[in-house]
Amino acid sequence: MRSAFLIFNPVAGQGNPEQDLETIKSLLSDIKLDIHLTTPDLDADHLAQQAIAQGVDAVIASGGDGTLSAAATALVGTEIPLGVIARGTANAFANAMGIPVAIDAACETILKGHTKIVDAAFCNGKPMVLLAGVGFEAETVERADRESKNRFGMLAYVLAGLQQLRNLEQFETEIETEDKIISVTASALTVANAAPATSVLAQGPSGLVVDDGLLDLTIVAPANKAGAIAATYHLLQSALSGTPADRNDIGYLRAKRFKITTTPPQKVVLDGEMIGTTPIDIECIPGGLTIFVPSVEEEAPIEKLEGLPDLIIETKESTEFFES
């Protein structure tokens, strides 16, 4: 890689952006960098589209999850590799892909040039690289505003989640895959292409695989607030230990495509951004994105649905998939 298009968000994180940019330029001095800063009127998506039009060798994005996800989604299907230098609050994108979050280590990863082709997805026609959350997670993300994230960092999401527990509600949902229709009562649904351990509600199967051509759905269905706290803690333990969840109020399954409807409609968060309410239709795009990553080995997750409340599963022929 002789040159790269660098997208830099000057307002991301809590560090010194001028110093961060100088550090990146110094560490990547062997690469001819075409540097572009995001502004309120020019976001990472538009800059990445500009890079694609120029026919660049690679795109490097530096900023928070919003910046990184916007750049990544623009590159889906292009085969242009993405370098990631995370400087945000949660850094979910980098953690999910196993990319170091320290600037020097992230730059070293890019310089080594090891790329990996990973899956992406489309949710209601919008590109998705991480996950879509329905119900509790969406409400929590909406509560964690920019001011609280700037003040408390990752703790802002924890505080928002604790506040949202006061308004915990269940909803009826129907989940359609290639071969089954599932009806269940839940409080949170998370469809993940990739997710870090901090995205607790995506950790049912644990150890999500980012290049298997499948999406992973975690269903959380606690009976009350105490159950919600216990289920969340259990999912955190699953994430930390790499062991799939084993509670009757947590289920998970894998599919290439999920069509989800809820009664009543529930808010949806897509890669950290609110996009409206259910229904949603999410389809995996195998090998949709190329990124610079360290080399890692992954194991395929498993499925579990037994024990969920009000669970109904109907088998179906694959030829009937999503037919109206």
Per-residue pLDDT tens digits of the chain, which is 324 residues long: 789 999 999 998 878 999 999 999 999 999 999 999 999 999 999 999 999 999 999 999 999 988 998 999 899 989 999 999 999 877 889 998 999 999 999 999 999 999 999 999 999 998 899 999 998 877 666 655 555 555 545 554 555 555 556 667 899 999 999 999 999 999 999 999 998 887 888 999 987 889 999 999 999 999 888 888 888 888 888 888 888 999 999 999 999 999 999 999 999 999 878 899 999 999 999 999 999 998 655 555 677 788 888 888 888 775 555 554
**Cα dihedral 37, 42, 45, 48 sign:** negative
227: three-class secondary structure by DSSP? helix
| pLDDT, position 89 | 79
Q: Is 245 helix (H, G, I), strand (E, B) or coil?
A: coil
How far apart are alpha carbons 278 and 281 in whole angstroms? Answer: 9
What are the C-alpha distances in Å from 216 to residues 145, 207, 240, 264? 27, 10, 18, 23
Full-model pTM: 0.81
pLDDT attached to residue 147: 54
List the one residue out of 258, 279, 287 whose CA is nearest residue 180. 258
**DSSP-assigned letter for residue 265:** -
Q: Is the dihedral of CA 276, 281, 284, 290 positive or negative?
A: negative
Quick one: pLDDT at residue 168?
75
- Other CB atoms within a 10 A radius of the CB of residue 245 amount to 21
CATH 3.40.50.10330 domain residues, the chain: 3-113
pLDDT of res. 319: 52
Q: Which residue has the tokens 């505003």?
A: 145
The answer as to CATH 3.40.50.10330 being correct for domain 3-113 is yes
**pLDDT on residue 156:** 47
User: What confidence score (pLDDT) does residue 287 get?
Assistant: 95
In the chain, ranges of CATH 2.60.200.40 domains: 126-286+296-320
What radius of gyration do the chain's Cα atoms show? 20
**Is 1.10.10.10 the CATH classification of the domain at 126-286+296-320?**
no
